[in-house]
């Protein structure tokens, strides 16, 4: 580990044009020293050549890993394994960092040695170039820890926080999840009791665009739902390890999310996932709420018609009520 070095890990797949902006936003940081690790995740266009050209233009700063396509989590982990910095920055290839991000966040973590990560405002830019007038998601609020609020929503985006490398090491490797891998990772960091330092400045910009994004897709796609089911199971385990119980409102919110996801998995034909998520939803709801009429009726219906049909009926009813 090199003191004060910030290691930025950029996974990329078929985004040569967007990658250049992401890399430039790191090169333009006012803080030094920096290193950039680009992980080309089996791109089939000219992204690999673009990444190599960036490394040639910035020797000693940019390194490139080329690997078979394995997903964004595996790509981030490959980069983390060779990172040398005291601090870790994860950056998606379609987002950018604002110039003083590292300067402010490194100074913040130096001033707050009990904190394991620093965050600030996130700026959102629409595909047509418009900016949201206020900080994106919940990044405009001062919060001293990720749990229990991360059970309600992940209120920052991947480029927003800067982590101490020691925290990332303690959290362990990224999973091979194809969706919500960043939420699951952050909840693992949260389960360590990680404290946050807040910077009242815009530090990163997330951008909407028309190219492929993992977050887009069909709601009841079985492949997507398998990943979401697994991520929610892991997040629930992280929350329990952190001591969050069913008495807390954030766990009650997550219980309702688990129940909804159980119904969606059933509707998509994923009977095993539907059954497992239902059991978690009951446990997260607590002994009294878990014996509620809605749980008892749904379990009885699933026992009669099966989890897939019960899910289809429930999702149809949800759409009708909406």
User: Going by C-beta distance under 8 Å and a sequence separation of 6 or more, which residues neighbour residue 64?
Assistant: 37, 38, 39, 40, 48, 51, 52, 54, 55
Instruction: Name which of 227, 204, 206 is nearest 273 in CA terms.
Output: 227
Q: What is the pLDDT of residue 211?
A: 61
Q: Where are the domains of the chain?
A: 2-207, 222-321
Q: Give 225-291 as a DSSP string.
A: HHHHHHHHHHHHHHHHHTT--TTSHHHHHHHHHHHHHHHHHHHTT-HHHHHHHHHHHHHHH-TTGGG
- Report the distance separating Cα 90 and Cα 318, nearest Å: 37
pLDDT (average), residues 202-207: 97
pLDDT (average), residues 178-201: 97
pLDDT (average), residues 62-74: 96
Q: For the segment 11-57, what is each residue's pLDDT rounded down to a tens digit?
A: 999 999 899 999 999 999 999 999 999 999 999 999 999 999 999 99
Mean per-residue pLDDT of the chain:
95
Task: Output the CA angle 7-10-15, nearest 5 degrees.
Answer: 160
Residue 218's pLDDT band (boundaries 50, 70, 90)?
confident
DSSP character for 68? -
pLDDT at 109 over 80: yes
Q: What is the pLDDT of residue 140?
A: 95
pLDDT at 209 over 80: no
Q: For the segment 151-171, what is each residue's pLDDT rounded down to a tens digit?
A: 999 999 999 999 999 999 999
DSSP character for 151? G
- Report the distance separating Cα 98 and Cα 262, nearest Å: 40
Task: Output the CA angle 229-209-69, nearest 5 degrees.
Answer: 55
Comparison of pLDDT for 240 and 210, the residue scoring more: 240
Cβ–Cβ under 8 Å, residues 43 and 65: no
Class of domain 2-207: alpha beta
Q: What is the pLDDT of residue 214?
A: 52
Q: What is the pLDDT of residue 212?
A: 53
Cβ–Cβ under 8 Å, residues 203 and 196: no
- Report the distance separating Cα 99 and Cα 201, nearest Å: 11
Placement of tokens 């690790």 in the chain: 37
Q: How many CB atoms lie within 10 A of CB 28?
A: 12
Q: What is the pTM of this model?
A: 0.94
pLDDT at 215 over 60: no
Residues in a beta bridge with 145: 195
**Would you give the distance in Å from CA 188 to the centre of its chain?**
11
pLDDT at 280 over 80: yes
Helix (H, G, I), strand (E, B) or coil at 199: strand
Q: What is the pLDDT of residue 320?
A: 82
- Report the distance separating Cα 211 and Cα 214, nearest Å: 10
């Amino acid at each position: 580990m090199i003191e004060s070095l910030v290691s930025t890990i950029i996974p990329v797949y078929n985004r040569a044009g967007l990658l250049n902006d992401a890399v430039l936003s790191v090169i333009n940081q006012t803080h030094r020293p920096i290193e950039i690790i680009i992980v080309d995740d089996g791109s089939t266009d000219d992204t690999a050549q673009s990444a190599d050209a960036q490394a040639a233009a910035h020797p000693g700063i940019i390194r490139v890993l080329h690997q078979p396509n394995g997903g964004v989590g595996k790509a981030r982990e490959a980069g983390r394994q060779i990172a040398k910095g005291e601090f870790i920055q994860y950056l998606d290839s379609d987002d950018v960092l604002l110039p003083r991000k590292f300067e402010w966040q490194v100074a913040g973590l130096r001033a707050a040695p009990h904190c394991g990560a620093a965050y600030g405002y996130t700026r959102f830019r629409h595909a047509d170039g418009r900016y949201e007038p206020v900080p994106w998601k919940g990044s405009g609020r001062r919060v001293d820890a990720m749990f229990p609020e991360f059970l309600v929503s992940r209120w920052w985006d991947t480029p927003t926080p800067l982590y101490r490398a020691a925290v990332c090491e303690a959290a362990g490797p990224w999973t091979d999840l194809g969706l919500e891998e960043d939420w699951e990772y952050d909840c693992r960091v949260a389960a360590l009791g990680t404290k946050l330092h807040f910077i009242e400045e815009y530090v990163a910009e997330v951008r909407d665009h028309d190219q492929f994004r993992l977050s887009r897709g069909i709601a009841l796609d079985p492949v997507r739902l398998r990943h979401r089911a697994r991520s929610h199971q892991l997040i629930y385990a992280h929350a329990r390890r952190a001591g969050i119980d069913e008495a807390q409102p954030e766990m009650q919110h997550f219980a309702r999310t688990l129940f909804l996801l159980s119904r969606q998995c059933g509707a998509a034909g994923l009977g095993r996932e539907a059954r497992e998520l239902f059991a978690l939803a009951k446990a997260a709801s607590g002994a009294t709420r878990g014996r509620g009429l809605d749980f008892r009726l749904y379990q009885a219906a699933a026992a009669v018609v099966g989890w897939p049909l019960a899910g289809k009926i429930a999702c149809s009813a949800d759409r009708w009520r909406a």
